[in-house]
Structures are given as structure tokens and as C-alpha cells.
Chains A and B, each alone.
Chain A
Amino acid sequence: KAGVTQTPRYLIKTRGQQVTLSCSPISGHRSVSWYQQTPGQGLQFLFEYFSETQRNKGNFPGRFSGRQFSNSRSEMNVSTLELGDSALYLCASSPREQSYNEQFFGPGTRLTVL
């Protein structure tokens, strides 16, 4: 089975722009979660989608949003980019929504905001 794929792998944007990141989960997985990884804050949970519905949301401003499509692929959007949004954004998929499941992580999208 192919693993979790994320596109693009690298992205450079300027302040004020918006960006959309994409995540394709492992085939058959219906849960997709997003995390932000920075040197200062570490790994922080952004949100989780299951069957096209947002199930959990972390403590991020409304500029961060996401969605999930019927084929379980997910996108996250960040509007009005700030320098502090520079980070590695990781997507993880899981077969079901139960919290005991292993999450399978993609390689991440490295976002740099100038």
C-alpha cells in the first residue's frame, strides 16, 4: 500500500498570501489529522477530519481551515500568512476515528513565509 502523500513538499510564500496544502491518506483510511511542527512550539494538533466532518480542532486562529473530500483526501488552507506560520505541516491518516489507532504520517510540507 502506498503511504500518506503530501503535496507540495516545499513551499515559499510571502506575508499576507494564502496557501493550500494537500494530503492523500492511505487507501481505506477515513480519518485525516493535521499537525504543525516548529522548533519553538513542537508538534501541535491543528484538526481532524473523519468522513468529511471535522471531529476535533486545536487552538489555532480561524486563518487555519481544512476540509475533507468524499475520497478522504484532505486539504488545509492558511489565509493571510504570517512569518510565524513557517513550519513543517504534517498530515496523518488512520483507518477509523478511535483514539487507540496508530496514525500514519506523511513526510510533511515545509512552508516558509518571507
Chain B
Amino acid sequence: AQSVTQLDSQVPVFEEAPVELRCNYSSSVSVYLFWYVQYPNQGLQLLLKYLSGSTLVKGINGFEAEFNKSQTSFHLRKPSVHISDTAEYFCAVSETGGGNKLTFGTGTQLKVEL
């Protein structure tokens, strides 16, 4: 079984400031790692994913994440946020070879302020 922990339920940040959203996971098997974003009254949209290879992954909208196997972490970063980045962000894992079953963290609400 897998579990995902997002340590921060809310992160307030000023526009143009950098941000890091933290994610740690636990699994007894190999997993793939994902970050999804949910805007109000919408479904989820994939930001980026880590499958293998380079531990630094770049995604859409200027986001990137770094996979750290020893710390079982997959933190999401953006060097300069915009008001439009206000949304809820979910870290998720899926078991390799386990089909399209995602285990999600509890989410981090990113609020960008002027």
C-alpha cells in the first residue's frame, strides 16, 4: 500500500515570490509520482510527473519538482508565482504496473496575494 503526505494544508504567498509545496510518500513497491492542480469548480489537471531518469522534472505553467529517493520526497516549486496560480495542488502516486489507480495526498491550498 502507498500513502502520500502533504505537510502544508495552506500556503499563502505574495505574487512574484517563490513557492515550494512539500510532498512525502511511503510505499513498499516502486511508484510513479504526479502533481495535479485543481482550480475552483473544475477537475484536476496534470502539472508534471516523474517516471524515471533525471530527478528534476519540469511541468506546465513554470512548475518543477525534484524527486529525492532517499528522503522519499517529491516537492513542487515555482520561482515566481502569479495570481492565477491560486488553486489546490495534489501530490499523487501510482504503483508501477498497478493500473490507473492514484493515491492522493490531502492537498495544499496555494493562495497568491498581491
Contact = CB atoms under 8 A, between A and B. Distances in A.
B88 to A, nearest CB: 10
Interface string B32-53: 1000100001111110010100
Interface residues of B, number: 26
A90 interface: yes
A70 interface: no
A55 B92 CA distance: 19
A33 B104 contact: no
A106 B38 CA distance: 11
B45 A56 contact: no
A106 B107 CA distance: 18
Interface in A1-56: 4, 31, 33, 35, 42-45, 48, 50, 55-56
B43 A97 contact: no
A103 B46 contact: yes
Interface string B72-104: 000000000000000000101011111111111
Contacts of B51: 100
B106 interface: yes
B35 to A, nearest CB: 11
A107 B99 contact: no
Contact of B45 (A42, A43, A105): A105
A22 to B, nearest CB: 15
Contacts of B96: 99-100
B4 to A, nearest CB: 10
Nearest to A45: B101
Contact of A94 (B44, B100, B107): B100
Contacts of B90: 43
Nearest to A42: B106
B72 to A, nearest CB: 18
Ranked 3 nearest A-B pairs via Cβ: A105-B43, A43-B104, A99-B94
19 contacts: A31-B100, A35-B104, A42-B107, A43-B90, A43-B104, A45-B101, A50-B100, A55-B100, A56-B100, A97-B100, A98-B97, A100-B51, A100-B96, A102-B49, A103-B46, A103-B100, A105-B43, A105-B44, A106-B43
